[in-house]
Amino acid sequence: MSDSISSKAIEKILFPYFQPIICTASGSIVGYEVLARQYDENGHVISAGGLFNSPFITDSQLILWDRMLRRQALKHFDESNFQGYLAINISASWINYIDDFTALPTLQMLQELNIDKSRVIIEITESKVELEKLIGVVKEYRKHGLKVAIDDFGAGYSQLERVIAIRPDMIKLDMELFKQALKGGIEHDVVHLITDLCKRTGCRLVCEGVESEEEFFYALDCGAHFIQGYLFSKAEAEFKNPDHYHGQFGLLRKKFLQRTLHKETRKLTFFEQIKRSVELLRVALTTDFNLGELATTPFELSGVLRFYLCDAEGNQISPNFNFGEGKWHEEPTEAEFNWSWRSYFYQLLALEHVQNSHRIVASERYRDFSTGLLCKTLSLRLDEQRILLVDIIAEY
């Protein structure tokens, strides 16, 4: 396909389809993403991704076709009875071609069609772009009431500097990263970091490409606000009733709750076992510090990795005592180590200041440097001079 094809000719083979975006809290369709489709030589509807990624077509021609597609989508959206939002993809690299921020094509289309701009989301797809231009364009969109999303976050050019610069309303997780994260490993940790980022910045997290129940459950576990994917629907020509997936979504949520309850019950049982082991440590350390006797307790099975002691100012006053192969192993530490800046330490002191002592305070989960295991640190008061810190396994 060459860039000499006329607009009328391309309109016959290039057109918008719409994939539903479903709210995890309500199970309702709250929006649609516009996706480019075309007919193949046999008249079948296929993705137009190959066309827009072709190295043989100039950017200027692709931009014209994209704007034509955008207008078609907005016109269909305007003529429908759907009351949700429409998400439109715009390549970040094409923003480099914009000289006048006050004459953005999408804003002009919305004005001409008299569409409520607050119901349109611009998804900035991953591509290289001058950051200052991106900031300027986003500022103009927001001035007119549009919302902005970062698409394919976690891949390509969708970096943290883009989040810092434009403060998106939504982050769409990169589909490949999402699917890899389901298998565990560092991708899993990265996805949960993105989840935390969304919580802290007030972004809505969107998981797309959800094709199986397992991926659906993982999206809920990630805290996704919105979900889209073939598990519910491919992109189609027409909009559905917003409650079309209520039944399917409700059943899936029930399955998720049953699975999660089982998992949480095992976690609580495991933590109770750890608390009993920690109480044994506390009693032993306040009476007779005898590692030999302590070794008769199956700490390894309970999830306890090590313990150490600090004074009330956070200075470590004992070695690390690591448990393994049925024995306690002493690991010398440097006397100047201080843990007062760790949340599990100062939170314990804060509880004591409000007369809520004898509590166990737990840290956030972290990856232990020595073992590579996912861990937490527990802190509790032994006496006026000493605080006990215990590292435990947090993989249940």
Q: Interior CA angle at 132 toward 127 and 135, to 5°?
A: 80
The first and second tokens of residue 262, run together, are: 């089982």
Q: How far is CA 158 from the centre of its chain?
A: 14
Could you tell me where the beta strands, DSSP code E, fall in the chain?
Answer: 14-23, 29-39, 45-47, 85-91, 120-125, 147-153, 170-173, 204-207, 226-227, 304-310, 320-324, 327-331, 361-362, 366-367, 374-381, 387-393
- Mention the CATH class of domain 7-236: alpha beta
- Residue 2's pLDDT band, with cuts at 50, 70 and 90, is very low
| Nearest alpha-carbon partner for 177 in 214, 215, 146, 213 | 215
> To the nearest whole number, what is the mean pLDDT of the chain?
89
Percent of the chain with pLDDT over 90: 57
The two beta strands, 120-125 and 147-153, are parallel
The two beta strands, 29-39 and 45-47, are antiparallel
> Regarding predicted confidence, which is higher, 92 or 12?
92
**pLDDT exceeds 50 at position 3:** no
How much is the average pLDDT of 216-234?
96
Domain boundaries of the chain, sorted by first residue: 7-236, 261-393
Q: Which residues contact 337 (CB under 8 A, 6 or more apart)?
A: 315, 316
Count the Cβ atoms, other than its own, within 10 Å of residue 386: 15
- Mention the CATH class of domain 261-393: alpha beta
pLDDT of 35:
96
How much is the average pLDDT of 4-31?
83
> First CA to last CA across the chain, in angstroms?
55
- Residue 13's pLDDT band, with cuts at 50, 70 and 90, is confident
pLDDT tens profile 362-375: 999 898 888 888 89
Q: How far is CA 20 from the centre of its chain?
A: 20
The two beta strands, 85-91 and 29-39, are parallel
